[in-house]
């Protein structure tokens, strides 16, 4: 079988950094060691001066998602293509159960959205809005279909929010079926009262989105979520954690040995609440939930990544165009579709501001952006690893490449970047997905529809 040999690179995994060649045969890694000889017919790539890392895994994206009366601007084709340019080779997106319907229907709907479009492999979490009469059995059925994680909302009353009884029942079910509950932790009831007060006082600008969702509303919900998981005797994963207050809750629980896990996102590490005060309604570009926080929260989150109080960096990629979508909330911040773009820039930002800036090591970079999400979400060691037998999802990473992030050149289907003009050093040069080069030197070589649905295993890393 024709093989590909990546020569002279430095292989970086979560465990080690070693000079080694990587031999790819078909869709998988065949061998990793120094001095692998090339057989005739092998394609040989020189990776001198490069890192060879496992493809990035973004465990939190929203492609083609209906939200706030509109739909996120990237579909499974444009979003996964943009992800590939940035070195991400797997995503886990979210299917949404419509109230009063079966979760299986939502799974089928989302599989259809992805089929024929996805350029990289994709898994799905299920957003549970209603347990109804059969919801707990439905959860078991979905676990058998490879949906090994469920997201529940403690925010957005009357839309996505579920009550504590529902949360506790779902958590308790995962104690039996081995799935993982991902929690959007904000106290939605308190936030709704604060929103109503703000609007009554004529406070309609984008910044009030942040001011009506204080860090304590996040911390309280994180505390409650972890407490309920602890009572149910099951792990829990907090999504898009944004504040020092919330982080303290996770750290306190982990220090006691409670299996609580959390992710944060580049926007919470690099941007602060001032962005929402940009003139000409441009603050709307930074309206997402939880909101951006005052600057003093940022170093605490970096510290959390370094010390494993936070385990994953994902994007919460949920793009809405400024010109015709964000504008829906021109006179009322509650009508601004919540979400921001980021699927393409996660590795660049975490490498530059994480590794180059000395906030964490190269191995930790791989762990946070690939290996741990693979473990926690039931994809390891097929994904997130460079070892014989693992999928050949690899990135040849050029640590010297300088790149300026801009909506003028990015591949996401959205008319702005949250990181416009940011200059980063370190970028994906060649991206392999299951042995196939899908990006090389800024050119896309993949095809829509080549991405496979990832059937994920229950009892992943959160259970170990
Ligand atoms: O504002 C956000 N985060 N939009 C996406 C939905 C969610 O809560 O993750
Ligand atoms: Zn959320
Ligand atoms: Zn999200």
pLDDT, tens digit (0-9, with 9 covering 90-100), for 315-326: 999 999 999 999
Ligand 1 atom 7: residue of nearest CA: 289
Mutate to test the pocket of ligand 1, among 316, 325, 414, 418 (most ligand atoms within 8 A of CB): 316
Q: How far is the CA of 129 from the centre of ligand 2 (A)?
A: 13
| Atom of ligand 1 at shortest range from CA of 153 | 8
Phi, psi at 276, each rounded to 5°:
-75, -5
pLDDT at 68 over 90: no
Average pLDDT over residues 17-32: 98
Q: Give the C-alpha separation, 453 to 111, whole Å.
A: 8
Regarding the beta carbon of 62 and ligand 1, being less than 6 Å apart is answered yes
Radius of gyration for the alpha carbons in the chain, expressed in angstroms and rounded: 21
Using 50, 70 and 90 to split pLDDT, how confident is the model at 118? very high
Q: Check pLDDT > 80 for residue 3.
A: yes
The predicted pLDDT at position 174 comes to: 98
- Tell me the average pLDDT of the chain: 98
| Mean pLDDT confidence for 359-371 | 98
Q: Is the CB of 288 under 6 A from ligand 1?
A: yes
Of ligand 1's listed atoms, the one at least distance from the Cα of 239 is 9
Query: Which residue's CA is minimally distant from atom 9 of ligand 1?
Result: 316
Q: Is the CB of 184 under 6 A from ligand 1?
A: yes
The ligand with the least distance to the CA atom of 316 is: 3
Convert the pLDDT of each residue in 42-53 to its tens digit: 999 999 999 999
pLDDT confidence bin for 237, thresholds 50/70/90: very high
pLDDT at 464: 86
Q: Say whether pLDDT at 166 is over 80.
A: yes
> 339 CB less than 6 Å from ligand 1?
yes
Please, which residues have CB less than 5 A from ligand 2, an ion? 184
% of residues, the chain, pLDDT over 90: 99
């Amino acid at each position: 079988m024709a093989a590909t040999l990546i020569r002279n690179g430095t292989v970086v995994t979560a465990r080690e950094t070693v000079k080694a060649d990587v031999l790819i045969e078909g869709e998988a890694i065949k061998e990793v060691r120094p001095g692998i000889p090339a057989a005739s017919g092998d394609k040989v790539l020189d990776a001198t001066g490069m890192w060879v890392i496992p493809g990035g895994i973004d465990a939190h994206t929203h492609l083609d998602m209906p939200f706030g009366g509109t739909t996120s601007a990237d579909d499974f084709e444009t979003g996964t293509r943009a992800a590939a340019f940035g070195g991400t080779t797997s995503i886990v997106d979210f299917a949404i159960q419509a109230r009063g319907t079966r979760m299986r229907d939502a799974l089928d709907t989302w599989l259809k959205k992805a089929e024929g479009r996805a350029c990289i492999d994709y898994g799905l979490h299920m957003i549970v809005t209603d347990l109804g009469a059969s919801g707990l059995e439905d959860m078991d059925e979905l676990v058998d279909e490879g949906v090994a994680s469920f997201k529940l909302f403690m925010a957005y009353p009357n839309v996505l929010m579920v009550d504590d009884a529902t949360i506790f029942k779902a958590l308790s079910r995962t104690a039996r079926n081995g799935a993982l509950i991902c929690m959007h932790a904000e106290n939605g009831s308190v936030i709704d009262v604060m929103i109503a007060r703000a609007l009554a006082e004529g406070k309609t600008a984008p910044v009030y989105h942040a001011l009506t969702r204080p860090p304590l509303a996040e911390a309280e919900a994180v505390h409650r979520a972890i407490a309920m998981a602890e009572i149910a005797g099951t792990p829990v994963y907090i999504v898009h954690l944004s504040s020092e207050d919330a982080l303290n809750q996770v750290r306190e629980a982990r220090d006691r040995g409670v299996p609580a896990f959390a992710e944060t996102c580049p926007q919470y590490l690099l941007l602060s609440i001032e962005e929402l005060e940009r003139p000409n309604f441009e603050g709307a570009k930074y309206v997402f939930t939880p909101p951006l926080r005052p600057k003093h929260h940022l170093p605490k989150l970096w510290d959390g990544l370094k010390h494993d109080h936070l385990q994953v960096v994902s994007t919460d990629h949920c793009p809405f165009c400024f010109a015709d979508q964000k504008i829906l909330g021109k006179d009322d911040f509650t009508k601004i579709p919540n979400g921001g773009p980021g699927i393409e820039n996660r590795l660049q930002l975490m490498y530059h501001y994480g590794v180059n800036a000395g906030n964490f090591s190269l191995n930790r970079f791989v762990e946070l952006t690939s290996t741990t999400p693979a473990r926690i979400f039931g994809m390891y060691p097929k994904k997130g690893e460079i070892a014989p037998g693992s999928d050949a999802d690899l990135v040849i990473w050029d640590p010297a490449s300088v790149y300026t992030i801009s909506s003028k050149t990015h591949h996401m289907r959205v008319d702005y970047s949250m990181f416009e003009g940011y200059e980063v050093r370190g970028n994906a040069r060649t991206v392999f997905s299951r042995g196939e080069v899908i990006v090389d030197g800024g050119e896309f070589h993949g095809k829509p529809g080549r991405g496979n649905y990832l059937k994920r295993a229950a009892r992943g890393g959160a259970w170990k």
